Structure 1
Amino acid sequence: MRPFAIGLSAALAVAILIPAAVISAPKEEKGKPAIDAKAREQGMKEAPAIIQASGAGCTVSDARYIGADAKSGSKYYEVACSEGMGFAAIAKKDAAPQLYSCLESSAPQADGKQGGLACILPGNANPGAALAPYVKKAGVTCDVENARAIGSSTKNSYFEVACKGGAGYVVQTAAPMNLAGEVVVNSCLLYEEGGNISCKLTNRQTQLQVVDTLNAGAGTNCAIKDKRYVLSTKTDNYFEVACQDGKGYMYQQTSATGAFARAIPCAQAGFVGGGCTMTDAVAAQTEAAGLYTKLATKAGFPCDVEKYGMLPSNDPKKEVVELKCKGSDVGGIAIFTATGGTVYDCLTAEFNGYRCTFTKKETQYARLTNDLKGFNKASCQVSDVRVMGSNDSEGFVEVACSDGLPGWVLGYPVGVAKPAAKEFLSCVQAKGIGGGCKLPTNKVKS
């Protein structure tokens, strides 16, 4: 997932729009800009109302009057906010105030010098640090080391932050800034270098150093040959690593904390951004299919694995894999651990929280027909099936018969790899289970 390009206004060029005669550089005292007492007095008197009218999330803690343009009627102020980053404010007659964060107004101009709206109040001495609460609100861990303004659109302002340790992020806030508004923080890796929104405080090589940290915690014994960023979701970032021994992995990182989540072998990583590109994924998949064949057979489910698919697992010690067997309609859901495994066929897998996608439900008809024989219902050739649901101990299946006569409900124990039907009900008896029978020939007339 990559962000769309966003058109930005020329917010960083704000000082160019101010007549040079209006604002003169402040005098200095002991190497620091001096703040005129009268300018501060006027600023504290006039600026709070301007800030309130702008809608910014700012309680004015300090302010100074900068100057005015008699021709346009505009007045210029700097304000410091108790909540964090301050602003340069432009008050115009018969128009809404314009606010620019101190990171924007203090950015060097084309000649390398600061413009007339640069922030000099003591409360605005470190505007980059004021981005920390915004980053924290987005749930991202970052010890802000450096920051810069990227620009603003009509609704949003964009900043870059560089974190200690090499990570970097683009921070999107409301414009004007308001901590109560929406905040979005994305890794710099999501943005193409040179785009209208991109990172300059950290480079790609520095940003990818995080992969070395993930590799150290992965336990894969991978001597990294190459690495790349793959994609990000709302909760996770994914990186591919190619190892010196020919193996490869996708490393999943929790985006909010930067913590290592799991290592996905390239043979199982086809669901992540098209899979691995720096290693031979086909060879890895063939090798994995052979491994799953052995593991499934050992678990009592003979299957020459032709195709497999990884399913989400909340337990990092368990692999949940759907299996399709070569030359057979049989399939199943396997749960493998370091000590063994269990394989559910595609019917009983649904009782245990999984669903097959490689195997069609028609392949279960013969098995269900045979199960009915155990209840002396050999006349019913199963023609349709519906899983009704399950409780802590039993799962229920509705079947229809090919002769059009009313079908039946079979109950199977859950948590058992090869369960035998333990209960047999008519649709009348099963009214209270999963909403009752619903297959067309089984609907109970009221």
Structure 2
Amino acid sequence: MRPFITGLAATLALLALAPAAVSQGKKAEEISEKARTQGMAEAPAFAKAASVACNVTDARFIGKNADKKAKTTTSYYEIDCDQGVGFVLSAVEGGATTSFTCIEANTPGPDGKPSSLACKLPGNADPKSDFGPILAAAKVQCTPEAVRGIGQSATATYFEIACQGSPQGYVLKTSAPIDAAKPVEATDCMLYDGGQSNISCTLRTKEERLAIVDTLAAGAGNGCAVKERKYVGQSQSGSAFFEAACNDGKGYMYRVDAGQLTQTYECAKASGIMGGCTLTDAKEAMMEQNGLYTRLSKTAGFNCDVSKYAPFPGPAGKDIVEMACSNRPDGGVGVFGGPNDKPIVYDCARAPIAGYRCSFTKLDTNSYGPVTADLKAVGKASCAVSNARIIGKTAKGTTYMEVACADGLKGYVLEYTAELKPIEAIGCAFSGQCKLPGNT
């Protein structure tokens, strides 16, 4: 559901009628002592009435407007606060008081002319500089180069922020009235470039924002001369993902956390990352990679004709991938390093012992065959394993795995070395650590 936001242009066009009428025919003038005295006498109470969190340190009376049709009189004030942003207050006599930040009040009218409600107090001369606490509350590292008011809903105020020295920009969702002590959400402007919302960023173009991809490609050092750029999206953990298509036909996916490049994926290995690459045709590269992983798996003694794969996070210089096999019911997790490293493959039944969990392989009696064989190796030949779970590791580095049997009889607790060699099996009838169905 789209959030309802009152457009600033429409709102300020209405509010601007009053000061324009009051000042009509007068030249621009310095703030008079009278306006300040009246402002300091009257504005603090109206600020409180509008629920503005502000210790008023300076104020001025802007003007008053009588709406004969509505039979109302509205007074306007500007206030400067000891901390945070300044405001313009609109106080209806006998009615409600509303507030707008100086960023909003300074917005030109629909005709492009300067706002007659623009803030003029010295403390409000640079409203964007007052956004430091707001950005800190949003946990965003950004020095504002420009700030734009987007609009308000009944409970929220929205702003666009463009950052200095960076193509990045954010949409801030703050309370209404804005208060740094209340929750503040920051969303990357790129999330709004698809046109799916009535919110949009205009301080920079989409192309300017996507220039970050060139910076990421340079930082990755993979020799990519960027031809096309794409913002892929944001994960549930808050990581941002970008895609680059290179002049040489290759492509990459970049993961960014807290503004820093944290991981680079070749498109051939990124099919499971945020839907995979779309700017490059990775199918041919993936088929080549399937062949490479097939050869490495067989070198490791794991007979797998790789049909698809997905990467796990891993240290630099190592490929850690889950593999599905077209020639066997179970898959595996391959750990492949450089040419001098011995390839290792963990079958999916025992991969959790090494800290990996498969998603391609359905674990059942067939795929648990290697664990059934391990039971036989330690003298327990009557159990065909149908389920398993990791209990935990010991101080000496071994791992306990509980297994259930297909015949419904009680299973066992198997102890494994770090190299996945079975040491012994203890029946669940003699162990208090079993929890799988049929074992308790």
Give the structure-1-normalised TM-score: 0.87
Report what 1:181 is aligned to.
182
| Candidates 228, 231, 245, aligned match of 2:230 | 228
Tell me the residue number matched to 1:14: 12
Offset, 1:87 = 0.7
Measure, in 2, the Cα distance between the counterparts of 1:215 and 1:33: 53
Q: Whole-Å Cα distance in 2 between the matches of residues 402 and 205 of structure 1?
A: 59
Counterpart amino acid of 2:14? I
Aligned Cα RMSD in Å?
2.5
Partner of 2:85, secondary structure, is: strand
1:161-180 alignment to 2 at 5 Å? Answer: 161-164=161-164, 165-180=166-181
Higher relative contact order (CA 8 A, sep 6+): 1
Secondary structure, aligned partner of 1:201: coil
Alpha carbons 1:386, 1:439 under 8 Å: kept: no
Equivalent position of 1:396 in the other structure: 400
Q: Which residue of the partner structure matches residue 204 of structure 2?
A: 202
Distance 1:311 1:21 in 2: 63
Shift of 1:90: 1.2
For residue 394 of structure 1, report the CA deviation from its aligned partner: 2.5
CA distance in 1, matches of 2:275, 2:372: 41
- The answer as to whether partners of 1:15 and 1:117 remain within 8 angstroms in 2 is no
2:304 aligned residue: 303
Pairs within 5 Å for 1:27-426: 33-70=29-66, 71-164=71-164, 165-192=166-193, 196-233=198-235, 235-254=238-257, 256=258, 258-313=259-314, 315-338=315-338, 340=341, 341-359=343-361, 360-378=363-381, 380-392=382-394, 393-401=397-405, 404-413=408-417, 415-416=418-419, 419-426=420-427
Q: Distance in 2 between matches of 1:400 and 1:49?
A: 72
Give SS of 1:63's match.
strand
Partner SS state of residue 43, structure 1: helix
Note the C-alpha offset of 1:438: 3.2
Could you tell me which runs of 5 or more consecutive residues in structure 2 were left unpaired when the two chains were aligned: none
SS at 1:363's partner residue?
Answer: coil
Pick closer, same or farther for the CA change 1:365–1:43 going to 2, 3 Å: closer
- Aligned-partner SS, 1:57: coil
> Aligned with 1:23: secondary structure?
helix
Letter in 2 for 1:294: R
In 2, distance between residues paired with 1:237 and 1:110? 36
For residue 427 of structure 2, what is the amino acid of its counterpart?
Answer: S
Bigger CA drift: 50-59 or 212-221? 50-59
The alignment-based identity, stated in percent, is 41
Give yes or no for contact 2:416–2:422 (8 Å, CA) kept in 1.
Answer: yes
Asked whether the equivalents of residues 304 and 327 of structure 2 are also in contact (C-alpha less than 8 Å), the reply is: no
| C-alpha distance in 2 between matches for 1:251 and 1:409 | 42
Offset, 1:23: 2.7
Query: What TM-score comes out, normalization by structure 2 length?
Result: 0.89
The answer to whether the 8 A contact 1:222-1:243 is kept is yes
Aligned-pair distance for 1:8?
A: 1.5
How far did 1:402 drift? 5.1
CA contact (8 A) 1:192 1:198 kept: yes
SS class of match (2:241): strand
For residues 139-184 of structure 1, give each alpha carbon's deviation from its aligned partner in whole angstroms, at most 9, with x where no partner exists: 2222211222111111111111222233222222111110111211
Q: Distance in 2 between matches of 1:205 and 1:335?
A: 39
Task: Name the aligned partner's letter for residue 251 of structure 2.
Answer: G
Q: Contact 1:320/1:336 (CA < 8 Å) preserved in 2?
A: yes
| Contact 1:64-1:78 at 8 Å conserved across structures | yes
> How many angstroms does 1:33 deviate by?
4.3
Question: One-letter code of the match for 1:38?
Answer: K
Cα distance in 1, alignment partners of residues 370 and 272 from structure 2? 32
Partner amino acid, structure 1, of 2:4: G
CA 1:27/1:294 → structure 2, altered by over 3 Å: closer, same or farther?
farther
Structure 1 residue 365: Cα displacement: 4.4
- C-alpha deviation, 1:20, in angstroms: 5.5
Deviation of 1:395 after TM superposition, in Å, equals 2.5
Structure 1 runs of 4+ with >6 Å offset: 25-28
Long gaps (5+) in structure 1: none
Q: State the AA in 2 paired with 1:7.
A: F
Maintained 8 Å contact 2:19/2:65: no
| 1:36 CA drift (Å) | 0.7
Give the whole-Å Cα distance in 2 for the aligned partners of 1:277 and 1:304: 26
Alignment CA distance shift 1:373-1:230 (3 Å): closer
C-alpha spacing 1:261/1:33, structure 2 compared with 1 (3 Å): farther
Residue 294 (structure 1) shift: 3.0
Aligned to 1:429: 430
Structure 1 counterpart of 2:228, one-letter code: D
Spell out, residue by residue over 1:251-292, the C-alpha distance to the aligned partner (whole angstroms, 9 max, x if none): 1122x3x21121111122223342211211111211221222
Whole-angstrom distance in 1 between the partners of 2:260 and 2:387 = 44
1:312 Cα deviation after fit = 3.8
Shift of 1:437: 4.7
Between the aligned partners of 2:292 and 2:302, the Cα distance in structure 1 is: 13
Say whether the 8 Å CA contact 1:76–1:90 is kept in structure 2.
yes
Q: How far is 1:9 from its partner?
A: 1.1
Closer/same/farther in 2, CA of residues 310 and 24 from structure 1, 3 Å limit: same
